[in-house]
Amino acid sequence: MHLVHLALTDFRNYRQLDLSLGPGLFLFCGENAQGKTNLLEAVSMIATSTSFHASADREVVNWYAPDHLARLDARIRRRDGELHVEIVIFDPTPPLLGSGEQATRPPHWPGGTQRKRIKINEVPRRALDLIGSMTNVLFAPADLHLVDGSPDERRRFIDRSLCQVRPRYCQALQQYRKIIMQRAALLKRIRDYHEDPRLLDYLDERLTLLATMIMFERERMLSALNELAAPFQEQLSGGREQLQIVYRPSFQPHPQHSLTEAQEHYLRQLHTVRQKEIQQGVCLLGPHRDDLEFLVNGMSVITYGSRGQQRTVALATKFAELAYMRAATGDEPVLLLDDVFSELDQRRREQLLQAILDHEQVLLTTTDASHFPPEVLERAYKFQVVNGQLHPW
């Protein structure tokens, strides 16, 4: 699988971009704040419909876009044919630029205007339909903190991969998040004596069904990741280290439970903590509180591992993610590397380069091309990124 063509209009600092792509290594070099990450963000949105960099879609719309719209247009070549993906993002609250009579006023848009429109092969689709059309693996500097970062980052790592290869998982996760928000609001109202606690029963039934589905898929993915990550860790550590990724759910179902038995077990635990949840006004159990733990030779990396070990584990885990998605879909994901080489020592740079050189399509950004050996630069399609414009070199 690879991206054949990418066109952007008023996306971040790209007022207009028309880029032909194909298999191979594409190197985008430039100073900070020139648009390197923005380019990878656009490719990632084509794959997942959401930004890894923005808290809201509207943030990707260029402030000076005349219609306050950003457009992404991409052609993707897969084993089963070619796809044409179009995404239009609307910013309903653009900034007011200028002052007085010179201020730029936003155009009037009718109520109910969609904030994001998606087409696949010219047919309007939902965001959920887009996910999985083009799989991608993103490796950014933040991923080097997968081990020592927050639990939320580790959950995001699992969810981003699973959503691309398991559409039912993505659907269940979206529904689960909505119910968690509804349930938290209801818990607060019950705490303040505005609602009957028995109203939780219906939400809990739905919540436990979705939560057990999510947990079972996460368990399956972690089982596969462990098989794939172990040899990478051995290779990166010179055969000295054994890696194990442990799933730490917020409640522990019996390993031999069926989906139905796990749901009943979860429901009983929810009833046990109900009074505590009402007092605190939050949902205390569920996939939104799960975590991962990384063990090297049986010891916790976050507690006992060096900074170098933590980065080696992060690299091995990302390599395993790439292999997992390839095995799950039968297609090579597009690999996006956002300035990670500047964060690695020479040995790990060489190991990462060796791992990606034969990948079908790699889009890589850097501030310093001197990190790369001459033979790699000769193979790469190279672009200088300057203020939202690409210049081949």
Q: Is the per-residue pLDDT at 315 higher than 70?
A: yes
Q: Is there a binding annotation on residue 32?
A: yes
Q: Kindly tell me if the per-residue pLDDT of 111 is higher than 70.
A: no
pLDDT of 144: 84
For the cut 90, the answer to whether the pLDDT of residue 381 exceeds it is: yes
Whether 321 maps to a domain, the answer reads no
131 located within any domain: yes
pLDDT > 90 in the chain, percent: 76
Is 365 annotated in some ligand binding site?
no
Confidence check: pLDDT of 204 > 70: yes
Average pLDDT over residues 48-70: 92
Q: What range defines the domain where residue 72 resides?
A: 1-95+114-135+333-393
Q: What is the pLDDT at residue 354? A: 86
34 is in an annotated binding site: yes
Both tokens of 250, joined, read: 């917020």
Q: Are 191 and 278 in contact (CB under 8 A)?
A: yes
Q: Is pLDDT of 367 > 90?
A: yes
Q: Which whole number is the average pLDDT over 353-377? A: 92
pLDDT over threshold 90, residue 19 = yes
What band does 106 get if pLDDT is binned at 50, 70 and 90? low
What integer pLDDT is reported at residue 255 of this predicted model?
A: 66
- Residue at 48 is within a domain: yes
62 is in an annotated binding site: no
Judged against a pLDDT cut of 60, whether residue 330 lies above it is answered with yes
75 pLDDT above the threshold of 60 = yes
The reply, when asked if residue 36 is annotated as ligand binding, is yes
Whether residue 1 lies inside any domain: the answer is: yes
Residue 258 pLDDT grade (very low, low, confident, very high; cuts 50, 70, 90) = confident
pLDDT band at 108 (very low <50, low <70, confident <90, very high): low
Residue 351: band (very low, low, confident or very high) from pLDDT cuts 50, 70, 90? confident
Computed over every residue of the chain, the mean pLDDT equals: 92
Residue 37 annotated as binding? yes
Please tell me the least confidently modeled range out of 55-59, 260-264, 280-284, 385-389: 260-264
- Provide the residue type at 184 as one letter: A
Please report whether residue 340 resides in a domain: yes
Residue 71 structure tokens: 């457009």
The residues near 278 (Cβ < 8 Å, ≥ 6 apart) are 187, 190, 191, 197
Is the per-residue pLDDT at 103 higher than 80? no
In a domain, 291, yes or no: no
The residue among 11 and 253 whose pLDDT is bigger is 11
Annotated ligand binding at 135? The verdict is no
Q: Is residue 68 part of a domain?
A: yes
The encoded tokens of residue 29 equal 């070099």
**Residue 353 contacts residue 154 (beta carbons within 8 Å):** no
Which pLDDT value is given to residue 100? Answer: 53
Q: Evaluate whether residue 193 is within a structural domain.
A: no
Q: Residue 276, annotated ligand binder?
A: no
CATH number (domain holding residue 74): 3.40.50.300
Tokens representing 307 are 């900074």
The secondary structure of 279-310 as a DSSP string is: HHTS--SSGGG-EEEEEETTEEHHHH--HHHH
Report helix, strand or coil for 273.
coil
Mean pLDDT over 190-214 rounds to: 95
Total domains in the fold of the chain: 1
Residue 316 CA to residue 260 CA, distance in Å, equals: 34
What is the pLDDT, as a whole number, of residue 200? 96
Helical residues (DSSP H) of the chain, grouped into ranges: 36-48, 127-130, 151-165, 167-191, 200-236, 259-272, 274-280, 301-304, 307-329, 346-356, 374-379
pLDDT of 343: 82
Q: For position 112, what pLDDT does the model report?
A: 60
130-189, pLDDT tens digit by residue? 999 999 999 988 888 899 999 999 999 999 999 999 999 999 999 999 999 999 999 999
